[in-house]
């Protein structure tokens, strides 16, 4: 429908809506890359053409503000009066209409578990934030996702509001070394937020992973050095569509096991699994990437395997830093193979989410960083 209102001339409107409806609107609009004000406007137009609608629960409403084309607000209020519907109820019905007619496309699940290894040899570039955000975006879209905190520092575990496994408890490292009883599934922790609906599981960190390199180095079984991670989590591949591994900034055997896990397997599309390399727009990230590249090439040559670099994520980008940032971003984009998958801006939402120990896509679902994480998901799955 073409509305007789100028969308460039808008006025602010305020209503009281329940938190669940506001949150659902924010998430869906962000998922579909639609401005909230446009979603509400479209919902109102649809509501005005719809005769009968059931009531929407508006109990516990709190302030909600958006912008409507000038004139639409008054016309909408008049329509509410003529239908004997309270304004807040009418707006809630309009938003519900828009949500019901703008559902997310059903995610096509992969035939076999896909594996994303998030890595770089430099610490502090945001590998944990990217691992968490990518996992949330996949789960939000309907996938079954396991994200593995493979870094003994455990930043990812803390980001998601969980604690490290105890040093004497079973852990991923112990399973890799054959020292743990029970199953690896026993270690999984659900990340329980409505947006993920029990589809997102965390395999948390344990500080005993600091000892993993040394123990792998002394094992008599040479092949264990590379296959230990894959063998330890093999059973998880039956349960999940995607496994995301948050790697430590390491050049040791631990990193070798992650690279091996992310290799292209026989009969698998080379772009199905591989490395997501997190960098920043500065020179030290490039130096660290050179070290990673050497490690990849050595493993490919020694083991006769292929490891796909799916692309770069340029994280915490801020053009206001001037020439160093902008020229560095240009350098990353000139690679083309692998490509830059997404540029994530340096804004406050991720830091706030970490401080509050809440998932980014739940804390700020319509923020720039959350949208960038969804764009990363799209780049890797379409």
Tell me whether residue 106 is in a domain. Answer: no
Q: Which tens digit of pLDDT belongs to each residue from 139-172?
A: 998 899 999 999 999 999 999 999 999 888 999 9
Tell me whether residue 266 is in a domain. Answer: yes
Q: Which of 61, 76, 101 is the last residue in one of the domains?
A: 101
**90 shares its domain with 205:** no
**171 shares its domain with 300:** yes
**80 shares its domain with 224:** no
H helices of the chain, in order, are: 19-31, 36-48, 72-82, 87-101, 127-140, 155-159, 172-176, 212-218, 224-232, 253-261, 283-303, 323-335, 349-356, 360-363, 368-381
**133 shares its domain with 240:** yes
**68 shares its domain with 154:** no
Residue-level pLDDT at 103: 86
Contact predicate 314/281, CB 8 Å: yes
Structural domain that includes position 44: 10-101
**52 shares its domain with 191:** no
**254 shares its domain with 371:** yes
Q: Which tens digit of pLDDT belongs to each residue from 91-104?
A: 999 999 999 999 87
Q: Based on the number of CB atoms within 10 Å of its own CB, is 34 exposed (0-12), middle (13-18) or buried (19 or more)?
A: middle
Q: How far apart are CA 84 and CA 78, in angstroms?
A: 10
Residue-level pLDDT at 1: 44
**118 shares its domain with 97:** no
Q: How far apart are CA 92 and CA 19, in angstroms?
A: 11
Q: How far apart are CA 172 and CA 150, in angstroms?
A: 8
CA angle 365, 367, 372 (to 5 degrees): 95
The number of folded domains in the chain is 2
**278 shares its domain with 350:** yes
**79 shares its domain with 191:** no
Residue-level pLDDT at 184: 97
Q: Is 237 helix (H, G, I), strand (E, B) or coil?
A: helix
**92 shares its domain with 125:** no
Contact predicate 325/286, CB 8 Å: no
Contact predicate 200/191, CB 8 Å: yes
Tell me whether residue 107 is in a domain. Answer: no
Q: Which of 101, 123, 155 is the last residue in one of the domains?
A: 101
Tell me whether residue 75 is in a domain. Answer: yes
pTM of the model: 0.84
| pLDDT, mean over the chain | 91
Parts of the chain with a pLDDT under 70: 1-4, 105-107, 219-224
What's 14's DSSP letter? E
């Amino acid at each position: 429908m073409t509305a007789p209102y100028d969308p460039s001339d808008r006025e602010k409107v305020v209503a009281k809506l329940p938190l669940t409806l506001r949150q659902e609107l924010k998430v869906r609009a962000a998922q579909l890359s639609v401005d909230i004000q446009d979603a509400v406007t479209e919902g109102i137009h649809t509501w005005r053409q719809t005769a009968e609608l059931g009531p929407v629960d508006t109990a516990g409403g709190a302030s909600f503000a958006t912008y409507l084309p000038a004139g639409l607000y008054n016309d909408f209020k008049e329509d509410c009066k003529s239908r004997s519907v309270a304004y807040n109820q009418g707006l809630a019905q309009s938003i519900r209409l828009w949500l019901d007619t703008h559902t997310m496309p059903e995610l096509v699940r992969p035939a076999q578990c896909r594996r994303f290894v998030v890595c770089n040899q430099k610490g502090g570039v945001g590998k944990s934030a990217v691992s968490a955000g990518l996992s949330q975006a996949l789960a939000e879209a309907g996938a079954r996702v396991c994200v593995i905190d493979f870094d003994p520092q455990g930043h990812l575990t803390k980001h998601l509001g969980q604690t490290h496994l105890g040093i004497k408890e079973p852990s991923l490292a112990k399973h890799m070394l054959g020292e743990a009883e029970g199953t690896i599934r026993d270690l999984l922790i659900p990340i329980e937020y409505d947006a993920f609906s029990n589809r997102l599981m965390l395999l948390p960190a344990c500080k005993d992973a600091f000892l993993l390199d040394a123990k792998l180095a002394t094992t008599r079984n040479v092949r264990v050095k590379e296959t230990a991670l894959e063998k330890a989590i093999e059973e998880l591949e039956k349960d999940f569509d995607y496994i995301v591994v948050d790697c430590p900034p390491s050049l040791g055997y631990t990193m070798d096991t992650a690279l091996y896990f992310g290799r292209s397997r026989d009969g698998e599309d080379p772009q199905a699994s591989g490395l997501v390399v997190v960098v920043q727009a500065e020179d030290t990230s490039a130096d660290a990437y050179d070290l990673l590249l050497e490690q990849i090439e050595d493993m490919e040559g020694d083991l006769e395997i292929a490891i796909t670099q799916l692309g770069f994520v340029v994280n915490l980008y801020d053009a206001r830093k001037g020439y160093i940032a902008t020229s560095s971003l240009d350098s990353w984009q000139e690679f083309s193979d692998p490509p830059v998958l997404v540029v994530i801006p340096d804004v406050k939402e991720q830091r706030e989410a970490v401080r509050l120990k809440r998932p980014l896509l739940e804390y700020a679902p319509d923020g720039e960083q959350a949208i960038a994480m969804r764009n990363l998901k799209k780049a890797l799955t379409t």
